[in-house]
Amino acid sequence: MHRLSFALLAASFAASASANTAVYNANVSEAEVLAAQSAWCNALVAINKAGEDQGHAAAKQLAGDVIDAAYGYNLGPVLFKPTLAAPPQTFRTTREGALAYFVGGDPNFKDDSGFALKGWTACRAENAAIHINGDVATSMGNVMITGKDGAVTTVDKTWTFKKSDDGKLRIVVHHSSLPYSAP
């Protein structure tokens, strides 16, 4: 008896999209991940510039806007381990902790001097790999940030972005660390 192959049947058909089909798509694309990374980088530089040009209050205002637009604290706790956050306040699962890290000046986070205010003039991401899974996507790689003197600081960074109901990506996981160097 000849046994027909379902796999061959499937392969013999080409897909053709219907122009009239209404499509809802909750998924994250790679392009959206790259755009969100660029937005984060740009925001970091902008917060620094706001501080230099307009003072700390302006930088704090912008940092708060960035956190509200780009992080998922409105959804719940965010898994945020900033590059320079140290014990016992390593993890910043609340908006307050994130804001303190970026601009400092919060008596509840005394070790925070304001990471975003350290003179950054440029920032870019270079991904090692991206993992896309439904409405969340994770990137891992390096982020290179350039200081006022032109020196480049490289960090190891993992971001998970979640697409909200409004179609916008928000950071729900952010683990950043300085590269290891053998002692």
Min dist. Cβ of residue 4 to its own copies (A):
5
Min dist. Cβ of residue 172 to its own copies (A):
6
Strands 136-146 and 152-163: antiparallel
Tokens of 132: 């896309």
Asked if 98 and 78 count as a contact pair (C-beta separation under 8 A), the reply is yes
Q: Which range of residues in 13-21, 101-109, 114-122, 143-151 is near its own copies by CB under 8 A?
A: 13-21
- Of 118-177, which residues contact its own copies (CB under 8 A)? 126-136, 138-142, 154, 156, 158, 160, 162, 164-165, 172-173, 175, 177
Nearest residue to 159 via CA among 72, 63, 85, 76: 72
Question: In the Cβ-directed half-sphere of 133, how many Cα atoms lie within 13 Å?
Answer: 5
- Of 18-47, which residues contact its own copies (CB under 8 A)? 18, 21-28, 30-36, 38-39, 41-43, 46
Q: Which range of residues in 57-65, 98-106, 114-122, 144-152 is near its own copies by CB under 8 A?
A: 57-65
**Which of residues 52, 111, 121, 148 is near its own copies by CB under 8 A?**
111
Min dist. Cβ of residue 70 to its own copies (A):
7
Greatest extent of the chain over all pairs of C-alpha atoms, in Å: 82
Distance from C-alpha of 82 to C-alpha of 118, rounded to nearest angstrom: 15
